[in-house]
């Protein structure tokens, strides 16, 4: 009887443990299989910053009080550090394991706009290059089970930093790149030793080499550079966030060489890309050798920004396994964008974009570009990037400059791209250049200005059940070598082709 009771208690313990574990796991079904994300959990102990001397006095720097609360919480096994209602001025903060920094409704964590307060050499990755630079405003390195949550605001007050960027940011970046090429180890690449001093701005929030990270519920405003930057992290969850910032390079959420990132139900109005995936720049990215992989992006909305979901251009470590779905993008310069250039190297592969709606996109609704020309640093090698196995399904776009624009390199084509169930309204239609093995299935493209389809140096392109509507009599514009192209047209019986290279005979089959 005693043995039976012990066995029963043991089984109950197992069941209870399993239930507890399940509650702290999010499982997303993706095209590559189930992707698991671990939600941080914390002890019930709370640490209100007012108990450590924090005050809403507008002349006081609360850095010491808030950091003391974080340190004590961590030392005593973890819990929640409470930022109560009110405006709390502070300089930089460092989060530690098992600590949840919670911003109550009505609270503003307001960072002091004095650059010298942040001139503490801190390990970071600046546009893909490892270095020591200004301290990010909220920073966490080598920690586990850590969060920033609540209903309050993190305010960067970054105008002074934006003014700094207008001076010699590029000069500082070139100095850093010289250190990289000279083989100087990252901890000795101290940008604050530059003469004049570093003009490389810090991130608003940055996690480096952390596991089980949660950023949830808060509003992020006016960061100095990138807003929420995750570097070398595992199991990251960013959800229910509002990112509102208009400064130069104010990208919203930036997973950088991370493994397992969930971005869910976030709103963006930014001065740069809204969500952008990175993995290192050129030689330094190859040295680190970490891809950004296993990412799920869903239920996100944008109102302004350079791009909705963007990959690159710092992607030398590679990007793979990304699933973005059920998002609405409006008023951005581009919708879905992949960008790189000759010299970056790296492989971008296994990407899926589904159920995406876009309105009033200023340039391309969908862009894949191996000729990105706006990089701060030009590569000094000839290593070529690789783009392959990219899927777009159930994409709806109204009023863009281009519907789809793909541009590979002459000797490195974009390979294996698949479009299914697209309904696009644009001025300039579909343009493919240096592209091979592409399929368009059930596509409706309405073009109001130029040719519905333009093909430049392509091979093995299959347009299945495509409907083209245009004010232009010519449906297809052909340049350079065009091989193995098939059209299954459901309208436009008089399908006119303009061949701009009469010396070649394009291999086109129209059914």
Q: Does residue 411 register a pLDDT over 80?
A: yes
Is residue 29 assigned to a domain? no
Rounded CA gap, 315 and 284, in Å?
Answer: 11
Is residue 43 assigned to a domain? no
Helix/strand/coil for 22:
helix
Is residue 308 assigned to a domain? yes
Helical (H) or strand (E) element with 85: none
Look up the domain containing 269 and give its range. 84-510
Which residue has 């000279």 as its token pair? 182
Residues 136-159: what's their mean pLDDT? 98
Is residue 35 assigned to a domain? no
Q: Does residue 378 register a pLDDT over 90?
A: no
Is residue 40 assigned to a domain? no
Confidence of residue 374 (pLDDT cuts 50, 70, 90): low
CA distances to 92, 153, 221, 265 from 106, in Å: 21, 8, 14, 21
Is residue 266 assigned to a domain? yes
For all residues of the chain together, what is the average pLDDT?
92
What does the pLDDT read at residue 375? 60
Q: Does residue 472 register a pLDDT over 50?
A: yes
User: Percent of the chain, pLDDT > 70?
Assistant: 93
| Other C-beta atoms lying within 10 Å of the C-beta of residue 29 | 9
Alpha-helical segments (H) within 34-182: 63-75, 159-181
Three-state SS for 108-148 is: EEEECCCHHHHCCCEEEEECCEEEEECCCCEEEECCEEEEE
pLDDT per position as a tens digit, 301-321: 999 999 999 999 999 999 999
Residues 216-235: what's their mean pLDDT? 98
Rounded CA gap, 198 and 232, in Å?
Answer: 24
Query: What total number of domains does the chain contain?
Result: 1
pLDDT per position as a tens digit, 422-432: 999 999 999 99
Q: Phi and psi dihedrals of 377, rounded to 5?
A: -120, 130
Q: Does residue 11 register a pLDDT over 70?
A: no
**Per mean pLDDT, which range of 18-22, 190-194, 436-440 is the poorest?**
18-22
Burial group, residue 341, by CB count within 10 angstroms (0-12, 13-18, 19+) = buried
Helical (H) or strand (E) element with 78: none
**Per mean pLDDT, which range of 58-62, 166-170, 375-379 is the poorest?**
375-379
User: Percent of the chain, pLDDT > 90?
Assistant: 81
Q: What is the pTM of this model?
A: 0.94
Side-chain-side CA neighbours of 237 within 13 Å: the count stands at 23
Residues 502-507: what's their mean pLDDT? 75
Q: CATH number for the domain including 218? A: 2.160.20.10
Q: Who's near 293: CB < 8 A, 6+ residues apart?
A: 258, 259, 260, 318, 319, 320, 321
Residues 274-300: what's their mean pLDDT? 98
Helices (H) and strands (E) in the chain, counts: 4, 35
Residues 64-81: what's their mean pLDDT? 99
What does the pLDDT read at residue 7? 43
């Amino acid at each position: 009887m005693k043995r039976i009771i012990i066995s029963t208690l043991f089984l109950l313990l197992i069941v209870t443990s399993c239930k507890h574990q399940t509650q702290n796991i999010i499982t997303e079904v993706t095209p590559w299989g189930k992707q698991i994300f671990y939600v941080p959990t914390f002890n019930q102990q709370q640490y209100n910053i007012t108990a450590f001397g924090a005050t809403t006095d507008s002349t006081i720097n609360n850095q010491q009080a808030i950091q003391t609360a974080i340190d004590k919480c961590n030392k005593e096994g973890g819990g929640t550090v409470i930022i109560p209602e009110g405006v709390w001025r502070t300089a930089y903060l460092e989060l530690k394991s098992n600590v949840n920094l919670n911003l109550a409704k009505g609270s503003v964590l307001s960072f002091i706009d004095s650059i010298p307060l942040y001139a503490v050499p801190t390990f970071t990755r600046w546009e893909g290059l490892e270095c020591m630079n200004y301290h990010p405003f909220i920073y966490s390195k080598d920690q586990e089970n850590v969060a920033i949550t609540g209903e309050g605001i993190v305010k960067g007050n970054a105008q002074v930093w934006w003014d700094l960027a207008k001076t010699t940011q590029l000069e500082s970046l070139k100095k850093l790149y010289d250190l990289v090429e000279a083989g100087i180890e990252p901890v000795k690449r101290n940008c604050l030793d530059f003469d004049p001093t570093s003009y490389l701005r810090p991130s608003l929030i940055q996690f480096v080499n952390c596991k089980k990270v949660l950023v949830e519920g808060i509003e992020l405003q006016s960061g100095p550079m990138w807003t929420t930057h995750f570097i070398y992290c595992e199991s990251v969850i960013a959800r229910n966030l509002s990112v509102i910032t208009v400064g130069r390079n104010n990208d919203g959420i930036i997973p950088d060489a991370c493994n397992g990132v969930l971005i869910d139900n976030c709103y963006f109005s930014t001065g740069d890309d809204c969500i952008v995936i990175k993995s290192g720049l050129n030689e330094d990215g190859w040295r680190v050798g970490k891809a950004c992989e296993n990412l799920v992006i869903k239920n996100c909305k944008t109102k302004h920004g350079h791009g909705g979901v963007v990959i690159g251009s710092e992607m030398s470590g590679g990007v793979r396994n990304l699933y973005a779905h059920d998002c609405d993008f409006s008023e951005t310069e581009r919708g879905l964008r992949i960008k790189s250039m000759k010299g970056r190297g790296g492989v971008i592969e296994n990407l899926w974009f589904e159920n995406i709606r876009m309105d009033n996109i200023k340039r391309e609704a969908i862009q894949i570009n191996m000729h990105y020309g706006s990089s701060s640093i030009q590569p000094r090698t000839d290593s070529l990037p690789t783009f392959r196995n990219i899927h777009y399904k159930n994409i709806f776009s109204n009023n863009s400059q281009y519907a789809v624009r793909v541009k590979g390199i002459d000797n490195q084509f974009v390979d294996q791209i698949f479009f299914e169930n697209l309904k696009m309204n644009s001025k300039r239609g579909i343009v493919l250049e240096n592209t091979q093995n592409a399929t368009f299935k059930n596509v409706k493209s309405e073009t109001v200005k130029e040719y519905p389809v333009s093909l430049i140096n392509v091979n093995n392109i299959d347009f299945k059940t495509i409907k083209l509507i245009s004010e232009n009599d010519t449906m297809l514009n052909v340049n350079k070598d065009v091989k193995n192209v098939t059209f299954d047209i459901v309208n436009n019986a008089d399908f006119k082709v303009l061949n701009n290279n009469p010396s070649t005979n394009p291999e086109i089959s129209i059914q």
